[in-house]
Structure 1
Amino acid sequence: MASIADTSLLSAELQEEEEEEEFQRLLLQATQKIQRSMPSAAESKPIHPLPGFCLKTRTSSGEKVFVNVCRSSHIPPPPDLTNEELACLIESENASTFRIPMSLGEPHAEVDKSGNGCTAYDVTISTSFYNKIENNRFLKDFFITVAMEGLSEKYEMDVSSQEWRILKNRKFMGSIAEQTIRTKSKPIIQEMDTSQIKEETSNPFQSPASPSAATIPEFAIVAEPSISHPDRLVAKISLPKMITVRSLELDLGEDRIVLQGHPKLYHLDIFIPYSIVPEESRAQFHRRTKVLTVVMPIQRPLLLP
């Protein structure tokens, strides 16, 4: 009897081991399937900026700083505004909604014409935008102010955004290094059947009325929570003519949303007043209500001392 009991116990243990192995195998398959369906991390690509013009400024301690303003066709241009529209925007409460896409390169040590050490930075903007500011002093001064403030914040430099001069006989200081920029991330749009969409009420950015409503969808963007610097943005885009999620293409930049609804049903291209994290964003399309919801985490602001 003892041997029979031992055999039965051994069989039970073997069965439990087999069930555990099967469970682990199914768990691994499910995990791999989920990983394959998740959006891939933001891709990057190298660019080779072309020289433009060179700025000279100084820190509060008197150290020389040079800024090489470069151009590249791989950088998107900002919205096309007239001087009057830009001036009105600057004076309004929505000044932060105007963003100039630019790549801020790492500092590199150089030697000036006197043989003294100095620091240079490369700032790359869109080629088309560069050509525009070359013939527009107001826009050029505005861009330089924004670029200097961006460098000061990113690298904690103590330089003035107002005290600088453009060098006449030098297009760049030292050499222009290759830069790596992040390409757009395309989050997978998941389809929902019966889940309810929560109505948002805090800080809506409602789309303006447009005569071309057939191509520009109605949308609203809300900040959560409703504070000075929220944790995320939630965009709700109404797409009543869409039949399947397979006809939607969504591109997210750090401060831009581009949506295409094929075949040529919808097109949305907007800038947003925050820096989002494209690779952590997610999107869902509700088949019944025809509403696309995009949840976008916001990058935390740089804390300066």
Structure 2
Amino acid sequence: EIINETMGKTQTENPESKVIRPQPGICVKTVSEPSKQKVFLNICQSNSVPPPPELSKEELVDLLQSEDPSGYRVPMSLGEPHAEIDNSSQGCTAYDVVINQEFFQRCQKDPLFQQFVILVSIEGLENKYNLELSRDWKVLKNRKFLGSVNDQNIRTKSRPVIQELEPQRSSTASSKRPEFTLLVEPSAGDPEYLIAEIKLPGVSSSRSLVLDVGEDRLVLSARPSLFLLDIFHPYLVDQDNSVAQYNSSAQILTVTMPVVSS
């Protein structure tokens, strides 16, 4: 779950956000594929980022063995890439990832949790910036951060309420990415609304849905592990005025998001 990934916005531009100064945590070295360019992840900590749901060691093992460990949503703030110089005086790219401080400390005490956080951070950056990063990473022992610690602007906006239109019978579905369609209105000229239509066969009630609309990201999960959708889109939307409706008869969730800019 992305808390915010916008840098350089002022409080006036986004009154329902706040600027935080994260604390360094660990620095992870990997490479981009297929170019083999060096990439560093500065995984930082701040209690301004909310903690994820409780996760036991047994649940973590199951997640790491599953096809989609990112299905467990870790709230995080992803910063913009910044160019740096490594110890060999070579150019490289660094990304700052901020997670909850208490959760970070727990991960430091258990190598399995640390592995999981690194994996989720890599997948978040890949989705956000259309990257492909190697899973052959290395945690640097004598460095907590590459470059300088930058402020991050995180949002404090609430997710939209899902309104149920009519009840329908329940059924079961296997865990998978649902079919969806993204539309813009009007279809010509400057877009005013971005509309996501998501098919959720077998989901009988909106009570099983958890939706998070970010400025340029939409995350939807249907419990218990029926569906997971995590997508970025090329628009900035108004999170506060986004609305969602679940039609239980058609089993389609419609999310209407006012477009701020493209």
Q: TM-score, normalised by structure 2?
A: 0.61
Structure with higher Rg: it is 1
Q: Which has the higher contact order (CA 8 A, sep 6+)?
A: 2
**CA–CA distance in structure 1, aligned partners of residues 255 and 102 of structure 2:** 30
Residue 152 (str. 1) matches residue 120 (str. 2): no
Is 2:95 the partner of 1:127?
no
- Higher helix content, 1 or 2: 1
Cα distance change on mapping 1:58 and 1:188 into 2, 3 Å? closer
Task: Give the aligned partner of residue 243 of structure 2.
Answer: 281
| Match runs of 1:60-209 below 5 Å | 60-91=34-65, 97-160=71-134, 162-185=135-158, 197-201=165-169
User: CA deviation digits over 1:152-185, x for unaligned, max 9?
Assistant: 222122321x211111111100112111122132
1:42-101 alpha-carbon deviations (Å, 9 max, x no partner): 932222111001111122323211110101111111111112122234546885541111
Report matched runs for 1:12-23 at 5 Å: none
Structure 2 portions without partners, runs of 5+: 1-13, 182-196, 214-218, 222-226, 232-236, 247-252, 258-262
User: Which position in structure 2 is the counterpart of 1:297?
Assistant: 255
**1:57, 1:159 within 8 Å by CA — same for their partners in 2?**
yes
User: What CA distance in whole angstroms lies between the structure 2 residues aligned with 1:188 and 1:253?
Assistant: 10
Residue 201 and residue 181 in structure 1: after superposition, are their counterparts in 2 closer, same or farther (change >3 A)? farther
For 2:123, what is the secondary structure of its paired residue?
Answer: helix
1:56 and 2:24 are equivalent in the alignment: no
Identity of aligned residues (%): 43
On the 8 A contact 1:187/1:281 being kept in 2, the answer is yes
Q: Deviations over 1:107-155 (max 9, x none)?
A: 0011112222111110100001101100011111111112112212221
**Cα gap change, 1:90 to 1:174, in 2 (>3 Å):** closer
Contact 1:42 1:184 in 2 (8 A): no
How far, CA to CA, are the matches of 1:61 and 1:186 in structure 2?
A: 38
Query: Closer, same or farther in 2 for the Cα pair 1:273/1:76, shift >3 Å?
Result: farther
Query: What is the count of residue pairs matched by the alignment?
Result: 198
Distance, in Å, in 2 between the alignment partners of 1:172 and 1:72 is: 14
Counterpart amino acid of residue 137 in structure 1:
P
State the AA in 1 paired with 2:179.
S
Distance change (3 Å), C-alpha of 1:203 and 1:139: farther
Residues 38 and 93 in structure 2, CA contact (< 8 A), matched pair in contact too: yes
Distance 1:189 1:92, change over 3 A: closer
Change (3 A) 1:184 1:198: same
The answer to which structure has the higher strand fraction is: 2
Partners of 1:87 and 1:48 in 2: CA distance: 32
Aligned Cα root-mean-square deviation (Å):
3.9
SS at match of 1:200: coil
> How many Å separate the matches in 2 of 1:252 and 1:43?
19
Instruction: Report SS of the residue matched to 2:145.
Output: coil
